[in-house]
A and B are shown apart, each in its own frame.
Chain A
Amino acid sequence: MSQAAHDGPTDDRTARGLALSGDPAPEAPQPPETLPLDAWHRKRGGRMVPFAGYLMPVQYDGIIAEHLWTRSSASLFDVSHMGQLFLSGDGADVALEALIPADLATVKLGQLRYSLLLNEKGGILDDLIVSRWRDGLYMVVNGATKWDDIGWMREHLPDEIGMNHMEDRALLALQGPQAAAALARHASGEHNLADLVFMTGGRFSIAGVDAWISRSGYTGEDGFEISIPAEAAARVADALCGEPEVKPAGLGARDSLRLEAGLPLYGHDLDEGTTPIEADLGFAVANRRREAGGFPGHARIMIERDQGTVRRRVGLVIEGRQPVREGALVLDADGSMVGRVTSGGFSPSLERPIAMAYVPVAAAATGSTVRIEQRGKIFSGTVTPLPFVPHRYVRLAQSARGSAA
């Protein structure tokens, strides 16, 4: 037995681009670092693998079991590898808007917004979440790209804008339909937890620890992300996993869940050679910014938005039982390569292989079939609307739900 295909998005790889000649020689590979919950994961039976420069649990009981548990109950994911950044200072909104296509004026206190760090060509340097706190902007960026992001922003933001890399904080994601019930037994704060809706957050206390909790996540389920001081992470994780609805889950299930939810993963489905329009993330370019511009790649992105692109990210269901993986080729009728699979695997919920791929726009309509080649074998994929599994975000506060009833 030997591994024939790469490990998918839990592999250990550099996220961004090739070294250019003239770049300093790459440093010797660093051994992976440990995260605040390292011992906690090991004690719970997590199988640790290198990912984004850290040792992280890929699974505990098994990926399919953890995946299905998340969809039916609730799972706790450690996402402390992600970068937590805080921007402050007068003009932070304007300064950040020069780097991302979001309209931060519409991001009110306690709101979250998905956005993209773009280069001059409109290519995606990272995808991120920005939230408004009382005294500045809190951002969560991808773990594998955080050092590049910090360098990019430090280079492009004015000196008077402060940027704090909150390395002393852990980040946990509690995801699943029972997440709210389990969390409510431990969290109290400036809002009634049940009144937090999707993509909002606030200050809470959880298990006696000060936390920023938002109703958000990357599984397609209702759920929360919990930012806490690193030294308190084990206490909070113990409290949450002490609830009967909650079990820990690893990177493997996180990946299969986000794939079913149609959510792109940076370094795989998104990279600096891909634009928001190609990636079908045009929603992240805010209305005001479309007209006003002032972010990197604006001209190209507007042309692509108006005139279309050559290729687009789509969802595919794959005929048969065998998954296609990242790197499989999309072929045209003549057998020429016209696209590439960027994420692929077996969907535990649908019990069939699914994938995301970039295909020519002419082949991107729902119901189109494409041919895929992987290791000399031809597969058939059918373009399917994303998400594969419906999102179950909570968009209406409980008080509003109550009055509507």
Chain B
Amino acid sequence: MSYYYTRDHEWISVNGTSHDTIATVGITDYAQAQLGDIVFVEAPPKGTKLSKGGECAVVESVKAASDIYAPVTGEVVEPNRALEGEPALVNSSPEDDGWFFKMTLADSTELEGLMNAAEYKAYVASL
């Protein structure tokens, strides 16, 4: 499993890069810590077509609402239903149980523009 990161603090994990690869998307530990207590996540329903960089989900903390952007182009195949009842999973397990949705990968070369874990770590350290 490979993880990629955006400058907007989303992560995307993929297992291989074949045309039927399903990727998982969420927000990073840094993002959840910045947002604080998360009380609501609006993940896109199955079938939503996403384009790289477009708004795809909303996350609400006690204090504020934030947009989440699609890290790559593709189609949502499964939103994380567990977040409906327990949005705090994003705080407790941002890069595992707190995933937002799974999606297809229209163009796996889009991943090449994203950061790897080491690059993202350096990026966060620079903020």
Contact = CB atoms under 8 A, between A and B. Distances in A.
Do A and B come from the same complex? yes
Interface of A: 1-8, 10, 58-59, 62-65, 252, 255-256, 321-323, 325, 345-346, 348, 353, 375
Centre residue among B10, B31, B67 by max chain A CB count within 10 A: B67
B35 to A, nearest CB: 8
29 contacts: A1-B9, A1-B67, A1-B68, A1-B69, A2-B8, A3-B66, A4-B65, A5-B64, A5-B66, A6-B64, A8-B64, A10-B63, A58-B63, A62-B36, A62-B37, A63-B36, A64-B62, A65-B37, A255-B63, A256-B62, A321-B84, A322-B58, A322-B60, A323-B39, A323-B40, A325-B65, A345-B62, A346-B39, A346-B40
Interface string B43-85: 0000000000000001110111111110000000000000010
Residue from the set A64, A255, A256, A325 with the largest chain B CB neighbour count within 10 Å: A64
Contacts of B42: 322
A63 B37 contact: yes
B87 interface: yes
B27 interface: yes
Nearest to B35: A1
Contacts of A325: 64-65
A375 to B, nearest CB: 8
A3 B37 CA distance: 15
Nearest to A345: B62
Contact of B39 (A5, A8, A321): A321
Contact of A2 (B40, B63, B67): B67
A323 B59 CA distance: 11
Contacts of B8: 1-2
Interface in B1-58: 8-10, 27, 31, 35-37, 39-40, 42, 58
B62 A1 contact: no
- Chain A CB within 10 Å — which of B35, B39, B40, B67 has the most? B39
Nearest to B55: A4
B50 to A, nearest CB: 15
Given A63-B36, A322-B42, A3 B62 contact: no
Most buried by A among B27, B58, B60, B68: B60
A7 B62 CA distance: 10
Contacts of B58: 4, 322
Contacts of A62: 36-37
Contact of B63 (A7, A321, A353): A7
Given A59-B36, A63-B37, A323-B40, A4 B66 contact: yes
Nearest to A325: B65
A58 B63 CA distance: 10
5 nearest CB pairs, A to B:
A5-B65, A346-B39, A64-B37, A63-B62, A4-B67
Contact of A3 (B36, B39, B40, B64): B64
A32 to B, nearest CB: 18
A144 B67 CA distance: 29
A67 to B, nearest CB: 8
A255 B61 CA distance: 14
A346 B60 CA distance: 9
Contacts of B63: 7-8, 10, 58, 63, 252, 255, 345
Contacts of A5: 64-66
A1 B31 contact: yes
Contacts of A10: 63
A23 B25 CA distance: 50
Nearest to A5: B65
Contacts of B87: 321
A252 B63 CA distance: 7
Nearest to A351: B39
B40 to A, nearest CB: 5
A256 B63 CA distance: 9
Contacts of A7: 63-64
Interface string B98-115: 000000000000000000
A322 B64 contact: no
Contacts of A346: 39-40, 60, 62
A346 B87 CA distance: 12
Contacts of B68: 1
Given A4-B58, A323-B39, 11 more contacts: A1-B59, A2-B8, A5-B65, A59-B36, A63-B63, A252-B63, A255-B63, A322-B58, A322-B60, A346-B39, A346-B40
A4 B64 CA distance: 8
A348 B59 contact: no
B110 to A, nearest CB: 18
